[in-house]
């Protein structure tokens, strides 16, 4: 099977979907002619393949890019637009939060907005908090938006295809750390349903719920604990909204223990939503209090030792799990 | 007002320091593991920082962006503290929280630096409003690139500043590119200075590689602002010698274009002028160069010998106590 980084998997999904459907176009800052000339990047080579009518480099105008997607979607196209780094989403947010998410509802279900906003995110590249800020909980809080956060290249390809084919606005968040971690990706067309979590590692002792880049940390912790005789079930959410409550609840009912792991900071993070779900619907199954392992409640600092301190690691996950046993 | 020899030499000194500082950073970026994160340089644009800052008084406030080294050095920021911050050390001007991209140096009234493109405009109106409100004899300078004028914040903030006659000088560094997009690829009108008209303020286009022209335009704008006549937009025409960042292969920048602009080096321009007028001897120029080199060498030594922050220091500085 082909080995691709997540950026390459996204690239393949975009390429295949654009070949399939001429209504799809791309827009964003430097997605055609860019400052990164690397085949690992998600839009590499697409300008050459599809031309400037369908691969649109824009001015530095996030609100206009997002609004372009909203209007073009209502007008019959299927836009896939890019926000370069997650913090810049705040500039695009009026169009996505107040418009893409609400105008269908306001129309009494008569207008649709089939668009995808791809956002590059994640800490770990030393640029500091105006480039690294995981805001998935913000968007997940908005009814009318689907929020997808793949953890593997194969999932990214299949989920992006579903996102593009979906008639709703989908926020698709790619952790850039995953661009440079190649893994197996099936060739050709396949899709993965939005709203379905995936058990990346079955286990019996504790449920570890995570998503995006933190899956790697979760698997590392699970491997280490397996050597110590603790069997961890790792649930990769893949989609935050709509949330696959069934997979989470049945896992917790099986293991009786829950740890949620995310890179975003703790307060108001999506881990709280998982915790509340389990308390409401599987409280009786819990053998121990649940735990969250998250970034601390600080902006992401730039200096390497400070940034490492921010990002959750396997040691913290192992310690949290051991508290529950 | 004429420009004294002293002021011209100060501008030259500031430009030489910025050039040396950034050429050293280019070298350091080539050495693996030395510097983490992005590196965005203003090599070739030094006359903007030097010219603007030479027109300011210490009470004036500057607000800068991702390409800030030349502004901050011209403003008098400590090169050691800047370099240590770029290296991520505890002794850096922002204790390692910022790195190179958002260097804030309140000691020289560079109160807030933002790497959100367009983030500076509304804040500059706020700073200008605070100066107006408190009846201070001071202005705010907002540095930004040509690309930033594509953000909505540019239009909202300039409109407000024009409406309220705020003492703000909007200094556009038109270096021909917004990341990989050339000016013509991101803006459909030829002049950004002309946009000032739409917001009720004068707009002036100057040669951004000629420090004295930048200085004079800034002086005029500052006088207007202090007289209560409101903001000015100055468009400084210059050029980005390096890529957007140090990892950018610059494929989209024609080699002849870069070469032509290097011919118009702002440092050679001012030093040549001063030598021709007899205000600067060859030996004095060599001294200035040597002293810039010594300052930067010392800054790098200081940064490399400085301790890393302790990991838990990441938790400090979120809240005012
Ligand atoms: C809101 C926002 N969008 C995008 C970026 C990414 N970005 C950083 S600098 C830059 C280009 C800015 O061009 P310009 O304003 O002309 O300044 P220059 O880099 O040329 O100095 C872009 C797109 C950003 N930092 N912030």
Q: Residue range B230-240: average pLDDT? A: 98
Annotation marks residue A17 as catalytic: no
Residue A9 pLDDT greater than 80, yes or no: yes
Q: What are phi and psi of B97, to 5 degrees?
A: -75, -30
Contact B181, B147 (CB under 8 A): yes
B145 C-beta closer than 6 A to ligand 1: yes
Annotation marks residue A62 as catalytic: yes
Q: Residue range B145-173: average pLDDT? A: 98
Residues of A engaging B, defined by a Cβ cutoff of 8 Å: 29-30, 33-37, 57-64, 87-88, 91, 125-128, 130-131, 296-299, 301-310
- Tell me the sheet residues that pair with B171: B143, B234
- What residues of A are in contact with residue B185 (Cβ under 8 Å)? 57
Contact A49, A14 (CB under 8 A): no
CATH code assigned to A198-324: 3.40.50.920
For residue B155 the two structure tokens come to 């239009």
Residue B1 pLDDT greater than 90, yes or no: no
Percent of all residues in chain B with a pLDDT value above 90, rounded to a whole number: 99
What is the distance between the alpha carbons of residues B241 and B47, in angstroms, rounded to a whole number? 13
pLDDT band at B196 (very low <50, low <70, confident <90, very high): very high
Query: How many other CB atoms sit within 10 Å of the CB of residue B18?
Result: 29
What is the distance between the alpha carbons of residues A35 and A16, in angstroms, rounded to a whole number? 24
CA of B312, closest CA in chain A: separation in Å? Answer: 7
Q: Are the Cβ atoms of A36 and B152 closer than 8 angstroms?
A: no
Q: How far is the CA of B101 from the centre of ligand 1 (A)?
A: 11
For residue B205, what pLDDT is reported?
98
Give the residue extent of every domain in chain A.
Answer: 2-185, 198-324
For residue B233, what pLDDT is reported?
98
Q: Residue range B91-115: average pLDDT? A: 97
Q: How far is the CA of B218 from the centre of ligand 1 (A)?
A: 24
Residue whose pair of structure tokens reads 């309220």 in the numeric block: B164
Q: Residue range A57-70: average pLDDT? A: 98
Which among A30, A91, A304 has the least Cβ separation from residue B88? A304
User: pTM for this structure?
Assistant: 0.98
pLDDT tens digits, one per residue of A162-202: 999 999 999 999 999 999 999 999 999 999 999 999 999 99
Q: Residue range A213-224: average pLDDT? A: 98
For residue B250, what pLDDT is reported?
96
Q: How far is the CA of B29 from the centre of ligand 1 (A)?
A: 20
Pocket test for ligand 1, best of B41, B46, B63, B66 (most atoms within 8 A of CB): B66
B79 C-beta closer than 6 A to ligand 1: no
Given A17, A29, A82, A131, the catalytic residue: A131
For residue A37, what pLDDT is reported?
87
What is the distance between the alpha carbons of residues B74 and B89, in angstroms, rounded to a whole number? 22
Identical topology for domains A2-185 and A198-324: yes
Local structure of A175: helix, strand or coil: strand
Interface pTM (ipTM) of the complex? 0.97
Q: What is B223-238 written as a DSSP string?
A: HHHHTT---EEEEEE-
Q: What are phi and psi of A2, to 5 degrees?
A: -70, 145
Q: What angle do CA B166, B172, B178 make, to 5 degrees?
A: 135
For residue A62, what pLDDT is reported?
98
Which among A59, A131, A307 has the least Cβ separation from residue B147? A59
Please provide the average confidence, as pLDDT, over all residues in chain B: 98
- What residues of A are in contact with residue B147 (Cβ under 8 Å)? 59-60
Residue whose pair of structure tokens reads 């997002």 in the numeric block: A66
Is B260 buried (19+), middle (13-18) or exposed (0-12) by CB count in 10 A? Answer: exposed
Q: Residue range B33-42: average pLDDT? A: 94
For residue B32, what pLDDT is reported?
92
What is the distance between the alpha carbons of residues B22 and B69, in angstroms, rounded to a whole number? 8
Domain A2-185: top CATH class: alpha beta
Local structure of B256: helix, strand or coil: helix
Helix (H) or strand (E) holding B306, with range, is none
Four-residue CA torsion sign, B255, B259, B261, B262: positive
Domains of chain B: 5-303 (3.40.50.970)
First to last CA, chain B: 46
CA of A213, closest CA in chain B: separation in Å? Answer: 19
Comparing CA positions, the residue from B33, B251, B40 lying closest to residue A130 is: B40
């Amino acid at each position: 099977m082909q080995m691709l980084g997540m950026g390459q998997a996204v690239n393949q999904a975009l390429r295949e979907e654009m070949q399939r459907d001429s209504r799809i176009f791309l827009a964003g800052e430097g997605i055609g002619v860019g400052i990164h000339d690397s085949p690992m990047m998600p839009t590499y080579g697409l300008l050459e393949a599809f031309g400037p009518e369908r691969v649109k480099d824009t001015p530095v105008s996030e609100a206009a890019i997002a609004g372009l997607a909203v209007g073009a979607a209502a007008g019959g196209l299927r836009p896939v637009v890019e926000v370069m780094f997650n913090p810049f989403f705040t500039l695009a947010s009026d169009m996505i939060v107040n418009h893409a998410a609400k105008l269908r509802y306001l129309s009494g279900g008569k207008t649709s907005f089939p668009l995808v906003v791809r956002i590059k995110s994640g800490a770990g590249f030393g640029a500091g908090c105006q480039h690294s800020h995981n805001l998935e909980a913000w968007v997940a809080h908005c009814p009318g938006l689907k929020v997808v956060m793949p953890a593997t290249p194969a999932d990214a390809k299949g989920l992006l295809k579903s996102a593009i084919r979906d008639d709703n606005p989908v926020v698709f968040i790619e952790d850039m750390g995953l661009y440079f971690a190649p893994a197996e990706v099936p060739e050709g067309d396949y899709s993965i349903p939005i709203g379905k979590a995936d058990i990346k590692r079955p286990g019996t002792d504790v449920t570890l719920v995570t998503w995006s880049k933190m899956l790697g940390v979760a698997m590392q912790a699970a491997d280490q604990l397996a050597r110590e005789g603790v069997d961890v079930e790792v649930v990769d959410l893949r989609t935050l909204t709509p949330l696959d409550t069934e997979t989470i609840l049945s896992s917790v009912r099986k293991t009786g223990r829950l740890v949620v792991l995310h890179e975003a900071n703790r307060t108001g993070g999506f881990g709280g939503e998982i915790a509340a779900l389990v308390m409401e619907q599987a409280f009786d199954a819990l053998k121990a209090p649940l735990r969250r392992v998250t970034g601390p409640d600080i902006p992401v600092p730039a200096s390497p030792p400070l940034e490492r301190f921010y990002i959750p690691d396997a040691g913290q996950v192992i310690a949290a799990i051991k508290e529950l046993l | 007002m004429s420009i004294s020899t002293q002021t011209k030499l100060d501008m030259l000194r500031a430009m030489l320091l910025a050039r040396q500082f950034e050429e050293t950073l280019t070298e350091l970026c080539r050495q693996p593991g030395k510097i983490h994160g992005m590196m965005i340089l203003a090599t070739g644009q030094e006359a903007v920082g030097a010219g603007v800052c030479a027109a300011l008084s210490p009470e004036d406030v500057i607000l800068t962006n991702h390409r800030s080294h030349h502004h901050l050095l011209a403003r008098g920021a400590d090169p050691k503290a800047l370099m240590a911050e770029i290296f991520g050390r505890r002794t850096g001007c922002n204790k390692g929280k910022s790195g190179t991209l958002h260097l804030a140096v309140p000691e020289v009234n560079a109160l807030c630096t933002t790497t959100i493109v367009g983030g500076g405009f509304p804040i500059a109106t706020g700073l200008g409003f605070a100066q107006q409100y408190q009846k201070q004899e001071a202005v705010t300078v907002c540095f930004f690139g040509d690309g930033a004028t594509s953000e909505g914040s540019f239009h909202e903030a300039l409109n407000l500043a024009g409406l309220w006659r705020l003492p703000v000088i909007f200094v556009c560094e038109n270096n021909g590119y917004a990341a990989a997009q050339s000016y013509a690829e991101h803006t459909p009108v030829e002049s950004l200075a002309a946009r000032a008209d739409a917001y009720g303020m004068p707009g002036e286009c100057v040669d951004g590689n000629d420090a004295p022209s930048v200085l004079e335009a800034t002086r005029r704008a500052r006088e207007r602002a202090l007289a209560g006549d409101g903001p000015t937009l100055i468009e400084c025409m210059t050029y980005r010698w390096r890529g957007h960042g140090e990892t950018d292969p610059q494929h989209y920048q024609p080699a002849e274009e870069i070469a032509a602009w290097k011919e118009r080096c702002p440092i050679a321009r001012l030093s040549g002028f001063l030598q021709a007028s007899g205000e600067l001897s060859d030996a004095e120029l060599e001294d200035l160069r040597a002293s810039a080199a010594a300052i930067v060498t010392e800054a790098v030594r200081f940064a490399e010998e400085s301790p890393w922050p302790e990991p838990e220091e990441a938790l400090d500085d979120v809240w005012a106590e």
